[in-house]
């Protein structure tokens, strides 16, 4: 009798977990990353393929209807060239003029978001922008600085070379 109750309880727990997982997977299907939506909207406004927009970085909040964005536009491939898409310099010029006149507007999740230029040279590393906790920001900045400032040790980059001596024997030399 105890074994039957145990098996029934186990099956009920297993079925409830299964239903919970299935329900959660269906509720998260329609949510895509903001960067993906941002890339598709930027490509729509500029009239170019979304494949050409790379290295996108952004900061801000879409609920406040303002984002600072930085991205790179690639040159068109053969198919995009035959579809008469503009080249990278023209697209970059158009995006810069739209951002400077505050008319670069995209729609993300029902919000009309105005895009402006994001200066990545003076900005902190992108990983630091994800944290709200100052302690985590300090740790992220410390790890980023250590990653960037690793010294280059000459002994790690010296390799053996093969030389031929006077008897025509091959000898390795460091």
Sequence spans of domains, the chain = 1-31, 34-117
Please tell me the predicted confidence (pLDDT) of residue 94. 92
What pLDDT tens digit does each residue of the chain (174 aa) get? 778 888 888 888 888 888 887 776 555 444 467 888 899 999 999 999 989 998 888 888 888 888 888 888 989 888 888 988 899 899 989 999 998 898 999 998 888 989 988 876 655 555 555 556 666 677 777 777 766 555 555 566 667 778 888 888 888 877
From residue 172, give the alpha-carbon distance in Å to each of 153, 156, 157, 165, 168.
Answer: 21, 17, 16, 10, 13
- How many residues are listed for the chain in this entry? 174
Q: CA-to-CA distance for 59 and 70, rounded, in angstroms? A: 9
**Residues near 22 by beta carbon (within 8 Å), at least 6 away in sequence:** none
Please tell me the predicted confidence (pLDDT) of residue 157. 61
Q: At what angle do helices 34-46 and 88-100 cross, to 10 degrees?
A: 100
| Closest residue by Cα to residue 132 from 57, 61, 64, 67 | 61
Read off the pLDDT of residues 29-67 as tens digits, 9 standing for 90 and up. 444 678 888 999 999 999 999 899 988 888 888 888 888
Helix, strand or coil for residue 164? strand
Asked whether the beta carbons of 160 and 174 are under 8 A apart, the reply is yes
- Here the tokens at position 64 are 């406040």
Please tell me the predicted confidence (pLDDT) of residue 29. 44
How many helices (H) and strands (E) the chain has is answered by 6, 6
Please tell me the predicted confidence (pLDDT) of residue 30. 46
Query: Which bin fits 60, alpha (ψ -120 to 50), beta or left (φ > 0)?
Result: left
């Amino acid at each position: 009798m105890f074994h039957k109750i145990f098996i029934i309880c186990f099956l009920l727990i297993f079925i409830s977990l299964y239903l919970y997982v299935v329900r959660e997977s269906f509720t998260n299907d329609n949510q895509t990353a903001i960067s993906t939506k941002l890339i598709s909207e930027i490509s729509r406004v500029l009239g170019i393929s979304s494949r050409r927009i790379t290295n996108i970085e952004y900061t801000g909040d879409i609920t406040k209807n303002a984002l600072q964005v930085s991205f790179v536009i690639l040159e068109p491939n053969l198919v995009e060239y035959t579809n008469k898409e503009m080249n990278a310099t023209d697209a970059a010029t158009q995006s810069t003029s739209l951002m400077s006149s505050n008319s670069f507007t995209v729609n993300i999740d029902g919000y009309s978001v105005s895009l402006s230029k994001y200066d990545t040279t003076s900005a902190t590393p992108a990983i630091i922008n994800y944290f709200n906790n100052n302690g985590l920001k300090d740790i992220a900045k410390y790890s980023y600085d250590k990653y960037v400032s690793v010294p280059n040790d000459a002994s790690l980059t010296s390799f053996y070379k093969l030389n031929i001596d006077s008897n025509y024997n091959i000898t390795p030399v460091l």
